[in-house]
Amino acid sequence: MEEKIMIQISSGRGPAECELAVGLFTEHLSKKFPGMKIIKRHRSGNWEKISKSKLREKCFNSVIAELDLESSEDFCGSVLWICKSPFRPKHGRKNWFIDVSKVENLTNEKICLDEKDIRMERFHSGGNGGQNVNKVETGVRLIHVPTGISVTATEERSQLLNREIAMRKLEERIRGKIKEENSGRESKRWEKHCALERGNPVLVYEGIEFKVKLDIQAI
C-alpha cells in the first residue's frame, strides 16, 4: 500500500488571480495524478468580488489534497503562473505566485477505542458504601497505552459500572487531546498559508491554458 501525504495549495494573501492559479494548479495535478483526492477547498471574501464568469468557479483561497508520497516531491514550494489578469484587463501585473506545502492530516474526532490498546487495573475504592466497598476491588483505572492517558472511576459499587464510567471518561479525554492536536495542525496550516514566498519558483506555468514553462532559467 502506497504511503499518502497531504498537501496544501495556497494563494496566501494574494488577489483573485492567485486564487484562480490555485484552482488551475489543482486541476492540473488532478489530471497528472488521477488518484489525487481533494479533502477540503476554501474560498475567501475575494470570491464575492470576482466578476461572474466561468473562471470565477475555479477560484479557491486554499485547497487540501491527498496523494501518493512520491508524487509530491517535485512540486512543493513556490509556483509561478504567468498570465495577464482575466479579471482586470488593464492591470499590468502578470506574475502570480501560489504555495504548495506538505501539511499534517487532521485526526478524525470520532472515537472508536480498540480494547487491545486499553489496560485495566482494579483497586479498592474508599469512601461511602459500607464495608463491602473496601473489601472488593470495585475501583477501576483504564490506561490508553498509545497515548498514556489514564482515568479512574470509583463512583459505583459495581466494577462493571465503574468500568463503563471510566470508558466514557477515557473517550472524552482522548477526544479533547485530538481537538487540541487538530487545533495545532490547523494553526500550522494557516502559518504556511500566510507565508507565501514570491520568487525562486519550483514550477512555472503560462497563459490561461496553464501550460508548463520549460525554461525556468529564462525568468
Global pTM value: 0.64
Q: What is the pLDDT of residues 168-202, one digit of tens each?
A: 999 888 888 887 776 776 666 666 656 666 678 88
Q: How far apart are CA 89 and CA 199, in angstroms?
A: 24
Model confidence at 72: pLDDT above 60: no
Spatial distance between the Cα atoms of 187 and 199, rounded to a whole number of angstroms: 24
Q: In the sheet that 95-103 helps form, which strands lie side by side, from edge to edge?
A: 37-42, 62-68, 4-10, 95-103, 77-82, 203-206, 211-212
As a whole-number percent, the residues of the chain with pLDDT over 70 amount to 78
Mean pLDDT, the chain, whole residue set: 82
* Average pLDDT for 123-131: 62
Which residues 6+ apart lie within 8 Å of 3 measured at CB?
Answer: 68, 69
User: In this model, does residue 210 exceed pLDDT 90?
Assistant: yes
Q: Is 140 helix (H, G, I), strand (E, B) or coil?
A: strand
Query: In this predicted model, which residue has the larger pLDDT, 149 or 110?
Result: 149
Q: State how far the Cα of 181 lies from the Cα of 175, in Å rounded to an integer.
A: 10
Per-residue model confidence as pLDDT tens digits over 153-163: 998 888 899 99
